[in-house]
């Protein structure tokens, strides 16, 4: 009985986890637009947003007077938190590999992205292959283990890549006598993807036949489970999103036609620097576009890149996001001002610009029921800025995920001396240890 | 009486001799020694009798049989022979276990079907060379057995439990198949699949899916081959099926989490090896209740020699170096079964120092001894024949003057399969001598 | 056709002779001269490409072109102190790159003469308010080389030029032909990655890595000193017209450096390299600017004591060291300021040159006074590169390198309304804007 009471008490204590952020300018990115007021967080979810929110007893109160709150930033294309190479680049179709297997929760890039207000990231395989590896969406729950980072319920994806990167291994590299890998042209990239889906369709038929036989009461030997084709089968069945790295208009169109032929959808075109040229076709297919704010000039296929890409595509009805493609979290740490560039280049409204890194990527990743805007019932993934978040002068002060504080600039700063002291202590210990060893065993 | 005198004479000869090859007595009795049985309480003063390679009897009140060569154990301690739980001793390759060494010359792999870096059918027992000089160094440190594994590639091959002495390799093998050593070894650029860590993991996953399928297809064919296409013979899968236990590498706590999950997914009996961050509470959390024994590398991380003084390692790296030797103590406290392995260390003093370091970092001497005797025997399922001083077990012992792993302790002899081996005298200028020569 | 153009030229000539016609008056603007206090409702008279007058009451002469700038601001054009503009078009396409010539010591090479005035990057950069830049002959950033990958290390890459970002030819773009001699100072290879998982490097018993690297490093510094010593010897023989003296183009190029007319732009990032670079400067008695001193905080006092200015890289950057604070690179300018080290900003990438103002703003976000950030992209750069008489502020007699904005020029959402380079209004268009206009009309 005592034990039960105690349990009940603990449950109550857990349930009573309530936080209120007060006196803030809140860019909700939801129906309420931008409001001055408070956000009530209960059990990790947003319980109330508005001018007059009563502070429940025992609630943790964050006074954000003069500060701004936006939904946690979502990066639709990142390569952080990955152990080992982000590319299984040895083969043209590497759909058998899975980023989920190599998530590294100790990657400092997670924390640094968090410090820039990022709460969710789509962790992608690299772009060395026409069909790349399986991808996973994470939350930046710094300090948790790998499993604790996974955004539970978010649909996994598969990386595709078109253009220069996947065909690079098809051309001789100076100083290397490695055998050439097909394909070496955009034609070959198309063929590689078609061949793979041709195989996947047959594979799916084999399994469907097997399933039918089993349900008919027979006991056939199951077909061989092939991890490479399994991922493609999931794409055909709509269980896995396709995130396709691409630059040029021709290859974007090409992939749309493959998808049409095989009856699957491209969820997002990534980078998609010439997306503005085929915005109509992208919108008609129903794909999203996740682009760079202002990258250009680094390779031939971005020669026609324009900083107005996001604005043009959005004006033509494409669901657009802006991503970082970051490996170390640098660009992730300032996606708020990357979004603001859409105001400069193309005159997007403030709310639409911020949506490029919040609500839109949430929709692209199919998690907009959970994150992407500050609305009742959604996860309390929130960023508090000292100034207008669409300004270069704004710094993230606090970042909450599921209502828990994962970043606090003040705590970060006050903790620095302690970490440095700890390091010096270990260095000193090591120095003494080495000196002792040099003197020989006692 | 005459016979007795002769025996004593022989005993004297043996004690004085440095060389190993002597006419072997059928029975040896060590009396008046402290006996650390490991399986039970230590015997302050007792006798252990060995006959025909087995332990005949052990106890306080055991009388040496009349025909036994008697060794006076006054001032000596007898332990079960030490076992290296993951070793490359005897394997003709300079590469340390689990590291893979130079890339094997095999054709470029275009996918898992090409079975890249796989020699799962190879047995270490078939590779060992009985004249490997590392055996002697290991014996001098008290080791009598080792779980040796082939050490190239991803599926390196099957381990064998061997004794560290024998006329020919076949005499040395105690258990031919212990399990599959798996290394997360990527192919270098241009050498094909798998070139990334996630590719290696996917490959291992595919192998076990293929093995299941292989078994099913073969069974169906066995039942009724008529009208059915003959299953392809796949030696990689044959090897995998032959030895079910797998050894997976995990040093960081992140890797421990990853490999614990992976092992559970593969549904193979698994041993994790490495454990540099076994000291981390998160490592322990992930290992607890998993029935997954671990092997702790004795190669403690050290600062690289002659490094750029301008460079400072990260806090994580420094912490690893400072705390790795406390991993055994932490694992021991948490009740996670563990054993030690040499991980490329093959010098007598280095082995002794490495174990000592774990003791200096909080592991009790008893626990250290257990992690080198009964624990590895249990982990590999051979505790019925090895790992403790019990009647009927294989006569593998180490006899020391002073407590084992103490700086001043000397290994007086090791006994393997009932045969006695005495260490070579330390070459001049080693150990303390170096200090004295210092100006 | 021909007679007409001749006629035009003649007209222009006569017009300038009687003054007035090419003059433009920018009226009623809020003027931020940088070197002086803000002036509300002021006017700027531009004549012959230069700032002829600034004031509240400038008499409009008859026929003078006037531009009303009520409600907007005028700032001096910004200067990027680190680019390869005009020399590199597409980073990954070798044939479009003219940086990083072969050779260890190549002081005779001049970036200026390889500047392609029609590089697409100029237009992209200009419309964001950057009107001048330092363009370097080498793509390298420190590290005992800076030459092409795999090639022998390069120490002196050649002469960097200060250029205007607009002009029909590179001669028209020239501001300071030999603005600096680019020297990549040696470095002892740093650790790669982010501190990794604590893996030890393989082959711990191999050859001594530091001892070897240090020897190599010392030899490289010696080599640089030897080269400068040889140049000084040449200078002596040249002055005394020694018998048998023959002209050497490499050595000739070093004369302005030895005479302290041209600074050495020393790429040195690590503490050890920066310290040794300072010793080198002392020993060789040259004028120096240290480029991208990432470890600046450890040597700020010495830099200040030696009066050596620095060019700071992008604040849109992260430390490689996982233990460093996340904002370490962003607070670097504030630290330089507190230590009294003079600095300007460079983006060290053509693609990011247009983001120069945002990098400066980010320094303000992390502690740098706003005025200092503005100076670092204008007057400080001009002073460091010997162009203070030409640009960097709105002052009488300087080139009319001006930008017209609807707000703070460092802020990302601010629109640049007009750009003047040498008094000429530069059309606010480029390849990217052309594509925007064209594809917005796609049905």
Checking if the pLDDT of B6 tops 70, the result is no
Partner chains of A (3+ C-beta pairs under 8 Å):
B, C
> Which residues of chain A are within 8 Å of residue B312 when distances are taken between CB atoms?
423, 427
CA nearest neighbour of C96 among A356, A302, A358? A302
Rounded distance between C-alpha atoms, residue B249 and residue B3, angstroms: 56
- C247, with CB counted inside 10 A (0-12, 13-18, 19+), is exposed
Q: Give me the domain span that covers residue C102.
A: 78-187+208-393
CA distance B417 to chain A (A): 34
Torsion C279-C282-C284-C286 (CA) sign:
positive
- The reply to whether B300 and B368 lie within a common domain is yes
- Of A126-130, B2-6, C158-162, the least confident: B2-6
**B149 with B97: CB under 8 angstroms?**
yes
Nearest to B311 among C190, C197, C323 (CB): C190
Please tell me which residue of chain C has the smallest CA distance to A303: C90
Checking if the pLDDT of B431 tops 80, the result is no
- The reply to whether B15 and B110 lie within a common domain is no
CA nearest neighbour of B183 among B301, B289, B100, B295? B100
Q: What is the pLDDT of residues B159-191, one digit of tens each?
A: 999 999 998 999 999 999 999 999 999 988 778
Helix (H, G, I), strand (E, B) or coil at A408: strand
Band the pLDDT of C21: cuts 50, 70, 90.
low
Rounded distance between C-alpha atoms, residue B7 and residue B381, angstroms: 38
B321 touches chain C (CB under 8 A): yes
> Which residues of chain C are within 8 Å of residue A394 when distances are taken between CB atoms?
365
**C364 with C33: CB under 8 angstroms?**
no
Band the pLDDT of C10: cuts 50, 70, 90.
very low
Task: Look at chain A and count its residues.
Answer: 442
- The reply to whether B401 and B325 lie within a common domain is no
Checking if the pLDDT of B421 tops 60, the result is yes
Of chain A residues 74-103, which have a CB less than 8 A from chain C? 83
Tell me whether residue B48 is in a domain: yes
Give the domain ranges of chain A. 1-71+372-442, 73-371
pLDDT of residue B93: 64
Class in CATH terms, A73-371: alpha beta
Tell me whether residue B198 is in a domain: no
- The reply to whether B356 and B274 lie within a common domain is yes
- Give backbone dihedrals phi and psi of B280, rounded to 5 degrees, phi first: -75, 135
* DSSP per position, C330-349: HHHHHHHHHHT--EEE---S
Tell me whether residue C39 is in a domain: no
CA distance A312 to chain B (A): 38
CA distance A340 to chain C (A): 6
Q: What is the pLDDT of residues A268-297, one digit of tens each?
A: 999 999 999 999 999 999 999 999 999 999
Going from the C-alpha of C50 to that of each of C33, C241, C375, C425, the distances in angstroms are 14, 42, 20, 13
Task: Look at chain C and count its residues.
Answer: 443
> Which residues of chain A are within 8 Å of residue C410 when distances are taken between CB atoms?
392
Torsion B245-B248-B253-B254 (CA) sign:
negative
Tell me whether residue C380 is in a domain: yes
A129 touches chain B (CB under 8 A): no
Q: What is the pLDDT of residues B66-75, one digit of tens each?
A: 999 999 999 9
Tell me whether residue B435 is in a domain: no
Band the pLDDT of A16: cuts 50, 70, 90.
low
Tell me whether residue C151 is in a domain: yes
- Give the residue-averaged pLDDT of C36-60: 94
- The reply to whether B60 and B165 lie within a common domain is no
**C378 with C76: CB under 8 angstroms?**
yes
Please tell me which residue of chain B has the smallest CA distance to C203: B304
> Which residues of chain C are within 8 Å of residue B255 when distances are taken between CB atoms?
197
Checking if the pLDDT of C141 tops 90, the result is no
> Which residues of chain C are within 8 Å of residue B301 when distances are taken between CB atoms?
198, 200
Q: What is the pLDDT of residues C302-324, one digit of tens each?
A: 999 999 999 999 999 999 999 99
Question: Given the structure tokens 């005028």, which residue do they identify?
Answer: C74
- Give the residue-averaged pLDDT of C275-293: 98
- Give backbone dihedrals phi and psi of B39, rounded to 5 degrees, phi first: -75, -25
Tell me whether residue B204 is in a domain: no
- The reply to whether B93 and B131 lie within a common domain is yes
Q: Which tokens in the block code for residue C212?
A: 């070897």
- The reply to whether B375 and B359 lie within a common domain is yes
- Give the residue-averaged pLDDT of A387-391: 98
Nearest to A221 among B191, B216, B407 (CB): B216
Q: Which helix (H) or strand (E) holds A204?
A: helix A186-215
- The reply to whether B11 and B145 lie within a common domain is no
- The reply to whether B180 and B60 lie within a common domain is no
Q: Which tokens in the block code for residue A66?
A: 């003069």
B436 touches chain C (CB under 8 A): no
> Which residues of chain C are within 8 Å of residue B317 when distances are taken between CB atoms?
195-196, 198
Q: What is the pLDDT of residues B97-110, one digit of tens each?
A: 444 444 446 788 99
**In chain C, how many domains are there?**
1
Tell me whether residue B306 is in a domain: yes
CA nearest neighbour of C187 among C284, C272, C278? C272
> Which residues of chain B are within 8 Å of residue C205 when distances are taken between CB atoms?
305
Q: What is the pLDDT of residues B184-205, one digit of tens each?
A: 999 887 789 999 999 999 999 9
Residues of C with CB under 8 A from a CB of B: 188, 190-191, 194-198, 200-201, 204-205, 208-211, 213, 270-272, 321-323
Q: Which tokens in the block code for residue B102?
A: 């130079």
Question: pTM of the entire structure?
Answer: 0.93
Residues 6 or more apart from A329 whose CB is under 8 A from it?
A: A78, A80, A108, A109, A110, A111, A112, A113, A116, A118, C318
**C282 with C303: CB under 8 angstroms?**
no
Helix (H, G, I), strand (E, B) or coil at C258: helix
Question: Is A91 within 8 Å of B282 when comparing Cβ atoms?
Answer: no
> Which residues of chain B are within 8 Å of residue A104 when distances are taken between CB atoms?
254
What radius of gyration, in Å, describes the C-alpha atoms of chain C? 24
Please tell me which residue of chain B has the smallest CA distance to A87: B196
Torsion A46-A52-A56-A57 (CA) sign:
positive
Residues 6 or more apart from C16 whose CB is under 8 A from it?
A: C22, C48
- A396, with CB counted inside 10 A (0-12, 13-18, 19+), is buried
Tell me whether residue C354 is in a domain: yes
Q: Which tokens in the block code for residue B313?
A: 């390692």
Tell me whether residue C22 is in a domain: no
- B331, with CB counted inside 10 A (0-12, 13-18, 19+), is buried
CA nearest neighbour of C51 among C396, C388, C378? C396
**A354 with A68: CB under 8 angstroms?**
no
- The reply to whether B333 and B238 lie within a common domain is yes
Q: Which tokens in the block code for residue B233?
A: 């013979």
Question: Is B195 within 8 Å of A178 when comparing Cβ atoms?
Answer: no
Rounded distance between C-alpha atoms, residue C440 and residue C432, angstroms: 12
**B286 with B257: CB under 8 angstroms?**
yes
- Other C-beta atoms lying within 10 Å of the C-beta of residue C30: 17
Q: Give me the domain span that covers residue B171.
A: 82-186+233-385
What CATH number corresponds to the domain at position B43?
2.30.40.10
Question: Is C200 within 8 Å of B302 when comparing Cβ atoms?
Answer: yes
Is domain A1-71+372-442 in CATH 2.30.40.10, yes or no? yes
> Which residues of chain A are within 8 Å of residue B193 when distances are taken between CB atoms?
88, 90-91
Tell me whether residue C428 is in a domain: no
Looking at A263-334, list the stretches that DSSP marks H as alpha helix, in order from N- to C-terminal side: 279-285, 309-315
CA distance B412 to chain A (A): 21
CA nearest neighbour of C400 among C9, C31, C13? C31
Nearest to A392 among C91, C120, C361 (CB): C361
Nearest to C413 among A115, A306, A343 (CB): A343
The yes/no answer to whether this complex scores an ipTM above 0.85 is: yes
- Give the residue-averaged pLDDT of A227-237: 98
What CATH number corresponds to the domain at position B269?
3.20.20.140
Question: Is C209 within 8 Å of B276 when comparing Cβ atoms?
Answer: no
**Mean pLDDT in chain A?**
94
Tell me whether residue B289 is in a domain: yes
Name the E strands within C317-401.
343-345
What CATH number corresponds to the domain at position C104?
3.20.20.140
Q: What is the pLDDT of residues C246-272, one digit of tens each?
A: 999 999 999 999 999 999 999 999 999
Band the pLDDT of B23: cuts 50, 70, 90.
low
Checking if the pLDDT of B438 tops 80, the result is no
Tell me whether residue B199 is in a domain: no
Cis peptide preceding B101, ω within 30 of 0: no
Tell me whether residue B202 is in a domain: no
**In chain B, how many domains are there?**
2
* DSSP per position, B243-312: ---EEEEE-SHHHHHHHHHHHHHHTS-EEEEE-TTTTSHHHHHHHTTS---EEEES----PPTT--TT--
A442 touches chain B (CB under 8 A): yes
- The reply to whether B133 and B260 lie within a common domain is yes
Q: What is the pLDDT of residues A144-153, one digit of tens each?
A: 999 999 999 9
């Amino acid at each position: 009985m005592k034990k039960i009471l105690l349990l009940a008490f603990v449950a109550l204590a857990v349930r009573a986890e309530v936080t209120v952020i007060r006196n803030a300018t809140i860019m909700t990115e939801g129906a309420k637009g931008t409001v001055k007021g408070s956000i009530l967080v209960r059990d990790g979810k947003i319980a109330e947003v508005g001018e007059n929110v009563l502070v429940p007893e025992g609630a943790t109160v964050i006074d954000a007077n003069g500060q701004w709150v936006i939904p946690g930033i979502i990066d639709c294309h990142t390569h952080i938190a990955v152990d080992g190479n982000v590319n299984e680049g040895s083969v043209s179709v590497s759909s058998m590999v899975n980023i989920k297997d190599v998530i590294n929760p100790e990657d400092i890039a997670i924390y640094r992205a968090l410090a820039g207000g990022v709460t969710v990231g789509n962790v992608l395989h690299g772009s060395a292959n026409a069909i790349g590896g399986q991808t996973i969406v994470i939350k930046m729950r710094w300090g948790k283990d790998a499993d604790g980072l996974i955004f539970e319920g978010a649909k996994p994806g598969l990386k595709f890549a078109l253009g220069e990167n996947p065909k690079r291994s098809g051309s001789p590299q100076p100083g290397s006598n490695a055998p050439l890998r097909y394909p070496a042209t955009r034609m070959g990239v198309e063929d590689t993807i078609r061949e793979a889906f041709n195989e996947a369709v047959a594979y799916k038929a084999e399994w469907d036949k097997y399933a039918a036989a089993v349900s008919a009461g027979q006991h056939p030997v199951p077909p061989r489970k092939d991890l490479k084709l399994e991922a493609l089968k999931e794409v055909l069945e709509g269980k896995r999103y396709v995130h396709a790295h691409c630059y040029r208009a021709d290859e974007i169109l090409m992939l749309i036609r493959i998808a049409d032929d095989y009856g699957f959808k491209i969820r997002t075109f990534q980078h998609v620097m010439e997306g503005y040229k085929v915005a109509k076709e992208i919108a008609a297919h129903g794909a999203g576009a996740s682009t760079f704010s202002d990258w250009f000039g680094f390779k031939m296929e971005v020669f026609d890149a324009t900083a107005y890409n996001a604005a043009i595509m959005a004006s033509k009805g494409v669901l657009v996001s802006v991503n970082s493609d970051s490996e170390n979290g640098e660009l992730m740490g300032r996606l708020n001002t990357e979004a603001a560039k859409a105001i400069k280049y193309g005159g997007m409204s403030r709310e639409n610009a911020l949506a490029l890194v919040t609500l839109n990527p949430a929709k692209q990743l199919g998690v907009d029921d959970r994150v992407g805007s500050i609305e009742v019932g959604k996860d309390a993934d929130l960023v508090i800025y000292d100034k207008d978040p669409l300004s270069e002068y704004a710094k993230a002060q606090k970042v909450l995920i599921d209502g828990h504080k994962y970043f606090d600039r003040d705590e970060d700063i006050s903790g620095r001396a302690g970490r440095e002291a700890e390091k010096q202590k270990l260095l000193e210990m090591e120095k003494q240890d080495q000196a002792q060893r040099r003197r020989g065993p006692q | 009486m005459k016979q007795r005198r002769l025996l004593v004479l022989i005993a004297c000869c043996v004690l004085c001799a440095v060389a190993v090859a002597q006419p072997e007595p059928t029975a040896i009795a060590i009396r008046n020694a402290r006996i650390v049985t490991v399986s039970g309480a230590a015997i302050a003063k007792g006798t252990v009798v060995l006959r025909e390679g087995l332990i005949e009897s052990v106890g306080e009140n055991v009388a040496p049989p009349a025909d036994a060569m008697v060794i006076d154990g006054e001032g000596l301690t007898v332990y079960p022979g030490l076992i290296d739980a993951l070793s490359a001793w005897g394997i003709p390759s300079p590469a340390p276990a689990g590291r893979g060494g130079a890339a094997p010359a095999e054709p470029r792999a275009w996918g898992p079907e090409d079975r890249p870096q796989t020699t799962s059918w190879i047995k270490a027992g078939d590779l060992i060379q009985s004249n490997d000089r590392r055996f002697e160094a290991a014996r001098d440190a008290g080791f009598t057995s080792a779980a040796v594994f082939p050490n190239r590639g991803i599926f390196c091959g099957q381990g064998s439990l061997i004794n560290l002495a024998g006329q020919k390799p076949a005499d040395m093998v105690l258990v031919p198949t212990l399990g599959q050593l798996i290394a997360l070894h990527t192919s270098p650029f241009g050498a094909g699949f798998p070139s990334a860590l996630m590719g290696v993991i996917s490959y291992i996953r595919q192998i076990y899916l293929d093995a299941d399928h292989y078994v099913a297809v073969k069974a169906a064919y066995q039942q009724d081959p008529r009208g059915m296409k003959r299953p392809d013979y796949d030696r990689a899968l044959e090897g995998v099926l032959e030895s079910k236990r797998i050894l997976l590498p995990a040093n960081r706590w992140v890797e421990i989490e990853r490999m614990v999950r992976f092992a559970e997914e593969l549904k193979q009996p698994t041993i994790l090896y490495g454990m540099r961050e076994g000291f981390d509470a998160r490592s322990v959390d992930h290992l607890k209740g998993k029935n997954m024994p671990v092997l702790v590398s004795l190669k403690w991380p050290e600062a690289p020699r002659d490094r750029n003084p301008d460079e400072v390692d990260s806090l994580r790296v420094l912490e690893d170096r400072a705390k790795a030797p406390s991993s055994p103590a932490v694992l021991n406290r948490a009740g996670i079964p563990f054993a030690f392995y040499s991980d490329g260390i093959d010098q007598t003093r280095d082995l002794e120092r490495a174990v000592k370091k774990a003791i200096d970092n909080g592991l009790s001497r008893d626990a250290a001894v257990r992690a080198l005797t009964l624990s590895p025997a249990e982990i590999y399922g051979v505790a019925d024949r090895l790992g403790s001083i019990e009647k009927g077990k294989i006569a593998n012992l180490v006899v020391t003057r002073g407590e084992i792993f103490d700086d001043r302790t000397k290994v007086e002899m090791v006994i393997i399969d009932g045969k006695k081996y005495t260490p070579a005298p330390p070459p001049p200028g080693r150990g303390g001598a170096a200090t004295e020569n210092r100006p | 056709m021909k007679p007409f153009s001749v006629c035009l030229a003649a007209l222009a000539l006569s017009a300038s002779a009687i003054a007035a016609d090419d003059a433009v008056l920018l009226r009623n603007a809020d003027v931020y001269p940088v070197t002086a206090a803000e002036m509300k409702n002021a006017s700027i008279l531009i004549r012959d490409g230069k700032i002829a007058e600034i004031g509240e009451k400038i008499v409009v002469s008859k026929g003078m072109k006037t531009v009303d700038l009520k409600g907007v601001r005028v700032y001096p054009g910004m200067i990027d102190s680190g680019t390869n503009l005009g020399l590199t078009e597409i980073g990954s396409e070798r044939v479009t790159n003219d940086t990083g010539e072969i050779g260890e010591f190549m002081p005779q090479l001049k970036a200026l003469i390889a500047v392609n005035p029609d590089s697409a990057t100029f237009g992209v950069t200009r419309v964001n308010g950057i009107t001048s830049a330092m363009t370097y002959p080498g793509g390298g950033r420190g590290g005992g080389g800076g030459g092409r990958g795999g090639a022998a290390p390069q120490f002196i890459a050649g002469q960097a030029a200060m250029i205007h970002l607009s002009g029909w030819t590179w001669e028209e773009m020239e501001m300071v032909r030999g603005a600096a001699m680019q020297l990549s100072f040696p470095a002892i290879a740093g650790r790669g990655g982010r501190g990794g998982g604590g893996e030890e490097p393989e082959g711990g018993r191999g050859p001594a890595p530091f001892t070897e690297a240090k020897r190599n490093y010392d030899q490289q510094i010696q080599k640089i000193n030897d080269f400068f010593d040889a140049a000084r010897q040449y200078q002596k023989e040249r002055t005394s017209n020694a018998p048998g003296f023959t002209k050497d183009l490499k050595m000739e190029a070093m004369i302005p450096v030895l005479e302290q007319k041209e600074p050495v732009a020393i790429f040195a990032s690590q503490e050890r390299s920066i310290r040794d670079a300072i010793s080198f400067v002392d020993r060789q008695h040259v004028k120096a600017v240290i480029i991208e001193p990432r470890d600046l905080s450890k040597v700020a006092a010495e830099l200040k004591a030696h009066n050596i200015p620095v060019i700071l890289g992008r604040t849109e950057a992260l430390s490689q060291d996982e233990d460093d604070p996340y904002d370490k690179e962003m607070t670097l300018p504030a630290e330089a300021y507190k230590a009294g080290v003079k600095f300007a900003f460079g983006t060290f990438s053509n693609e990011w040159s247009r983001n120069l103002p945002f990098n400066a703003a980010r320094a303000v976000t992390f502690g740098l006074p706003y005025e200092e950030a503005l100076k670092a992209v204008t007057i400080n750069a001009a002073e460091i590169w010997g162009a203070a008489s030409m640009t960097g502020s709105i002052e009488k007699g300087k080139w009319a390198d001006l930008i017209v904005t609807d707000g703070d020029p460092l802020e990302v959402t601010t629109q640049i309304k007009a750009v003047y380079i040498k008094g000429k209004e530069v059309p606010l268009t480029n390849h990217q804007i052309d594509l925007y206009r064209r594809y917005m009309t796609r049905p």
